[in-house]
């Protein structure tokens, strides 16, 4: 009985870990194309008409790096709960901006993963982003995950504090 | 809804108290770090951009008239689709054109009802006379330089939404007009790709004659 419970807990932890890795990878992939061409990305943001023009260049410079570091931190498991909160925030903003433009009857390039792709915004892209948001929520409220850099740091910290060898803990 | 499904996945093991003040602090720190890194990187990056918003260059109309003379067109030799029956085999949207925001029929009708946008008919004046969206101004894209001095003074607010349309997806006049307006510094230009055929087919109001 106890063994079965442990096995269940293990499976859940694996699912949470996979959700964390997947959400991190998604954001990392999405950021790479935007990092290299902030000028093109600023035109994409402009097309969404959600930000005042004066904030567009700053957003074009900051958002790709925010995506990059949030994705990286999620993937390696460093400050992953804070990163997943940011991830959820980003996905909520993206879903809102897509929905807003669709409701206003605007059809334009999504610019979600690649700025050169001709993928147009649609209810499918909104659904995809909401799916990504669920993945982020799963990570955010996960009790614990495997292969997180945070756990390693914790273990190192405890071992240093007690001066006990790492493998004995 | 999403939280409910999350709860069922985890079999009531999810602890919402996991998200406490320190999580918000972590998120804020990542945000600050990314912002600072992004701004610093942009400073030294060869493709970096100006952080202060610079509106697109707006040339004086006289300068445009001097610098861009449209090539003479012979009557009867117009390669662009100039009537709904002619499909343009030459027009392929390039990636640059493809970045223009497009409006669907419902989007165009919504703006028409709210009277919140300016419609520009990019077709020839003759076609405009045959029928156009009520309130739309005639702005034949092929004669931009000639028509601009009459129309542009009416479009004083460069942030106001402008919707260009022509013969639908087979026609590139609205794209050319939109691009030229963006070059003039207009920041909110959209293209109604369905254009006149879609509007007419939907049975929406139309006007005839040379008055908007």
Cβ–Cβ of B110/A38 closer than 8 Å?
A: no
Distance from CA of A72 to the nearest CA of B (A): 11
What's the average model confidence in pLDDT over B31-54? 88
On the 0-12 / 13-18 / 19+ scale of CB atoms within 10 A, A28 is: middle
More confident residue, B67 or A52: A52
What is d(CA A118, CA B69) in angstroms, rounded to the nearest whole number? 33
Size of interface A-B (CB pairs under 8 A): 157
DSSP structure string for chain A: -HHHHHHHHHHHHHHHHHHHHHHHHHHHHHHHHHHH-HHHHHHHHHHHT-S-GGGHHHHHHHHHHHHHHHHHHHHHTSSHHHHHHHHHHHHHHHHHHHHHHHHTTEE-B--SS-SS--PBP-HHHHHHHHHHHHHHHHHHT-S--SS-HHHHHHHHHHHHHHT--GGG-
CB A60 within 8 A of CB A53: no
* For residues B101-128, average pLDDT: 88
Stretch among A92-106, B3-17, B93-107, B130-144 having the lowest mean pLDDT: B3-17
Q: How far is A69 from chain B (nearest CA, A)?
A: 7
Instruction: Express as a percent the part of chain A with pLDDT over 90.
Output: 47
Q: Is B202 on the interface with A (CB under 8 A)?
A: no
Predicted confidence band at B58 (pLDDT cuts at 50, 70, 90)?
very low
> To the nearest whole angstrom, how far is the Cα of A61 from the nearest Cα of chain B?
6
CB atoms within 10 A of CB B155: 17
Hey, are the CB atoms on B99 and A39 less than 8 Å from each other? no
A109 closest CB neighbour out of B98, B103, B108: B98
pTM over 0.90: no
A10-14, B32-36, B71-75: range with lowest mean pLDDT: B71-75
Mean pLDDT along residues B70-80: 38
In CATH terms, the superfamily for domain B61-67+95-201 is: Rhodanese-like domain (3.40.250.10)
pLDDT at residue B12 is higher than 50: no
Find which of A101-105, B32-36, B77-81, B206-210 is predicted with most confidence, using mean pLDDT. Answer: B32-36
What pLDDT is attached to residue A125?
A: 93
- Give me the residue from B10, B31, B102 closest to A106, CB to CB: B102
> What integer is the mean pLDDT of B106-123?
89
CA neighbor of A66 nearest in space, from B38, B25, B51, B26: B38
pLDDT digits (tens, 9 = 90+) for B148-203: 888 888 888 888 899 999 987 667 888 889 988 988 888 888 888 888 888 988 88
């Amino acid at each position: 009985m106890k063994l079965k419970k442990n096995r269940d807990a293990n499976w859940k932890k694996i699912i949470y870990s996979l959700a964390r890795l997947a959400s991190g990878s998604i954001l990392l992939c999405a950021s790479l194309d935007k990092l290299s061409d902030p000028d093109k990305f600023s035109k994409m943001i402009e097309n969404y008409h959600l930000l005042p023009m004066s904030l567009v260049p700053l957003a074009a410079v900051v958002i790709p790096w925010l995506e990059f570091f949030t994705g990286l931190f999620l993937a390696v498991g460093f400050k992953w709960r804070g990163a997943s909160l940011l991830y959820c925030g980003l996905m909520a903003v993206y879903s809102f901006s897509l929905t807003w433009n669709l409701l206003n009857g605007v059809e334009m390039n999504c610019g979600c993963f690649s700025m050169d792709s001709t993928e147009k915004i649609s209810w499918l892209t909104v659904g995809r982003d909401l799916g990504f948001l669920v993945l982020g929520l799963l990570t955010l409220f996960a009790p614990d995950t495997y292969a997180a850099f945070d756990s390693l740091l914790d273990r190192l910290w405890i071992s240093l504090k007690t001066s006990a060898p790492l493998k004995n803990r | 809804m999403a939280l409910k499904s999350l709860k069922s996945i985890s079999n009531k093991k999810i602890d919402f108290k996991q998200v406490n003040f320190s999580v918000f602090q972590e998120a804020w720190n990542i945000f600050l770090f990314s912002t600072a890194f992004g701004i610093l990187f942009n400073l030294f990056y060869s493709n970096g951009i100006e952080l202060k918003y610079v509106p697109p260059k707006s040339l004086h109309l006289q300068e445009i008239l001097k610098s861009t003379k449209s090539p003479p067109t012979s009557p009867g030799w117009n390669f662009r689709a100039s009537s709904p029956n002619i499909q343009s085999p030459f027009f392929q949207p390039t990636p640059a054109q493809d970045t223009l925001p497009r409006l669907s029929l419902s989007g165009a009708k919504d703006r028409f009802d709210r009277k919140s946008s300016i419609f520009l008919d990019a077709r020839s004046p003759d076609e405009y006379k045959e029928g156009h969206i009520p309130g739309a101004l005639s702005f034949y894209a092929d004669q931009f330089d000639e028509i601009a001095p009459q129309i542009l003074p009416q479009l004083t607010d460069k942030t106001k939404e402008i919707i260009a349309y022509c013969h639908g997806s087979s026609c590139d006049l609205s794209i050319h007009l939109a691009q030229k307006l963006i070059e003039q510094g207009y920041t909110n230009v959209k293209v109604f790709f369905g254009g006149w055929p879609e509007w007419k087919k939907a049975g929406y109001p139309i006007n005839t004659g040379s008055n908007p």
